[in-house]
Amino acid sequence: MLEKFTVIRGRAVPLRGEDIDTDRIIPARFMKALTFEGLGQYLFYDERFDEKGNPKPHPLNDPRYRGATILLVESGFGSGSSREHAPQAIKRAGFKAIIGESFAEIFFGNATAIGLPCVSLSPEDLGVLFRMVEENPELEVEVDLVNQEVRFGDRTAPLFIREEAREALVEGLWDPIGELLEAGELLDQFDRKLPYPRRTE
């Protein structure tokens, strides 16, 4: 039985920057592995550490945000490479949800499929949330996928997420493998019907 994501509560870490690509989220050299294990420690590695491995100023290195479980981002987050390593690294670093203005297509799908909700706020609401979290790292943020709103301080902001993804997260259907397998015999019909490449020489 998959987890049903209804309300996610926690402190948030504000990560500013537009169009942050998946190479930045997880640099390619950390993908040389046969599993996703341990990826969390390399999250945003080149932004957080210099070439000698010393920490640089970065929200994820800021002790005030230690233990935050919600990642706050701007627009176009997760562009570029389709590497699932990116949402895997975020999830394995302890994040339970991402709030932003918009997300790259493949990143959004990958995150949803591993149970990492990505929700959007209007630029205005997102701006307010950023400022409030920057001023008060202790601020409690609630992502409510059922009522489709994000609550923080005395504010309630409507959240946006593709309805199919919301449904999948709330109903515990975000990993579709079980349901895909149920198609059974129907799959064989498609395999017989649709051509596939066959060596002809």
Partner 1 sequence: MGKTLYEKVWEAHEVRKLRSGQSQLFIDLHLLHEVTSPQAFGMLKDLGLRVRYPHRTFATVDHIVPTHDRTEPFQDPLAQSMLEALRANTKEHGITFFDLGSGNQGIVHVIGPQLGLTQPGMTIACGDSHTSTHGAFGAVAFGIGTSQVRDVLATQTLAAQKLKVRRINVEGRLAPGVYAKDVILHIIRHLGVKGGLGYAYEYGGSAVEAMDMESRMTLCNMSIEGGARIGYVNPDETTFQYLEGRPYVPKGSEWEEAKRRWLAWRSDPDASYDDVVTFRAEEIAPTVTWGITPGQAIPIDGRIPLLEELPEEERPVAEEALAYMGFSPGQPIKGVPVQVAFIGSCTNARLSDLREVARYLKGHKVKKGVRALVVPGSEWVARKAEEEGIAEVFREAGFEWRMPGCSMCLAMNPDRLEGDELCASSSNRNYKGRMGSPRGRTVLMSPLMVAAAAVAGEIADAREVFGVGAR
Interaction of residue 40 with partner 1, rule CB under 8 A: no
In angstroms, rounded to a whole number, what is the distance separating the alpha carbons of residues 72 and 134?
11
Cβ 153 to partner 1 shortest distance, Å: 25
Q: Contact between 21 and partner 1 (CB under 8 A)?
A: yes
**Residue 14: partners with Cβ closer than 8 Å, 6 or more residues away:** 59, 65, 72, 130, 133, 134
Q: Is 171 in the site for partner 1 (CB under 8 A)?
A: yes
Starting at the edge strand found earlier in the chain, the sheet holding 118-120 runs 118-120, 97-100, 70-72, 7-14, 140-144, 149-152, 155-158
In three-state secondary structure terms, 107 is helix
Tell me: does residue 1 bind partner 1 (CB under 8 A). Answer: no
Of 10, 40, 62, 80, which lies in the binding site for partner 1, with binding defined by CB under 8 A? 80
Query: Which among 2-10, 62-70, 138-146, 188-196 is the span making contact with partner 1, rule CB under 8 A?
Result: 188-196
Minimum distance from residue 87 beta carbon to partner 1 (Å):
8
- Taking CB under 8 A as the criterion, the residue among 81, 91, 118, 145 binding partner 1 is 81
Backbone angles phi, psi at 73, to 5 degrees: -135, 175
Residue 1 or 186: the one with the smaller Cβ distance to partner 1 is: 186
Length of the chain in terms of residues written: 201
Q: Is the Cβ of residue 117 or residue 152 nearer to partner 1 in the bound state? A: 117
Instruction: Figure out which of the listed residues 2, 10, 23, 160 binds partner 1, where binding follows CB under 8 A.
Output: 23
Q: What angle do CA 143, 170, 176 make, to 5 degrees?
A: 130
- Is residue 34 within the footprint of partner 1 (CB under 8 A)? yes
Torsion on CA atoms 123, 128, 132, 135, rounded to nearest 10: 90
Candidate ranges 1-9, 25-33, 134-142, 146-154; the one touching partner 1 (CB under 8 A): 25-33
Q: How many CA atoms lie within 13 A of 103 on its CB side?
A: 27
Examine residue 59 and tell whether it contacts partner 1 (CB under 8 A).
no
Nearer to partner 1, 7 or 187 (CB): 187
